Amino acid sequence: MLLLDKIAPAIESTKMVAAQTNSGITAWIAQVATHFIDTTGYLGIMILMTLESMVAPVPSEAVMPFAGFAISNGTLSWTGVIFFSTLGSIIGSLIGFWMGAKGGRPLVEKWGKYLLLDKHDLDITEKWFTKRGDIIVFVCRFVPVVRHVISIPAGMGRMNLWKFSIYTIIGAGIWNSVLTVSGFYLKKNWNQIMKYSHIIDYFIVFAIAIVIIYYGYKLYSTRKKAKSI
């Protein structure tokens, strides 16, 4: 109930913001995302980053910069954002680690398709982990797609839990901080950026189209593979 109590008002508030905004896609996304994070606060950031680290398709690049916006607005603090985002990252990573350690590949292949986890992504990540060793858990926090999956082969390989946790906390802490700082300075220079908002809008529409096509293809291919088994 606590989560619903936090998120429901945020959804209603973002609808109001959207209705009042006529400044283009870039400004609309920034206002809605920032307002959502302002409303849900640290709990919202922690939940989103937990999902990001446990295979769910929630990219940190779409969350943490807007947390930087909230810091710039004075509604959240640096300490709180970095702490709770990294806490979410380690919680999600430990869930992925447990999936790999307890269920192994059969569990991941059975349920991963519901989170759009591609078997090919898992194969690549597993090879990286086997070849590069434990340090890859730290390195992969900075690699798109792979960072969502790396916890699973770490669990399957029975990596030392303390080492896994330390590498994850350090890597996630650095990555979350970089994205938050970028969002903070992006907000500081927002008026200048908005002079070119129409150009940015075109890129955003293109990027959204690519993401929809990509995840649509993944969803189609995973369902097709599931039916053929």
Above 50 in pLDDT, residue 192?
A: yes
Query: What domain range is 57 assigned to?
Result: 2-228
The tens digit of pLDDT for each residue in 103-150 reads 766 666 666 555 556 666 667 677 767 776 678 888 888 887 777 778
One-character DSSP codes across 83-144:
HHHHHHHHHHHHHHHHIIIIIHHHHHHHHGGGGT--HHHHHHHHHHHHHH-TTHHHHGGGST
CA–CA separation, 70 vs 46, rounded Å?
A: 15
Q: What is the torsional sign of CA 210, 212, 217, 218?
A: positive
pTM, entire model: 0.69
pLDDT bin (cut points 50, 70, 90) of residue 19 is very low
Backbone angles phi, psi at 188, to 5 degrees: -60, -30
Q: What is the torsional sign of CA 7, 11, 17, 18?
A: positive
Looking at every residue in the chain, the average pLDDT score rounds to 75
pLDDT bin (cut points 50, 70, 90) of residue 99 is confident
- Comparison of pLDDT for 173 and 99, the residue scoring more: 173
pLDDT bin (cut points 50, 70, 90) of residue 29 is low
Q: What is the pLDDT of residue 15?
A: 46
∠ CA 131-133-137, rounded to 5°: 115
pLDDT bin (cut points 50, 70, 90) of residue 219 is low
How would you class 64 by CB atoms within 10 Å of its CB: exposed for 0-12, middle for 13-18, buried for 19 or more?
buried
Q: What is the pLDDT of residue 107?
A: 65
A 10 A CB-CB count for 20 gives 10
Q: For the chain, what is the domain count?
A: 1
Above 80 in pLDDT, residue 48?
A: yes
- Comparison of pLDDT for 192 and 47, the residue scoring more: 47
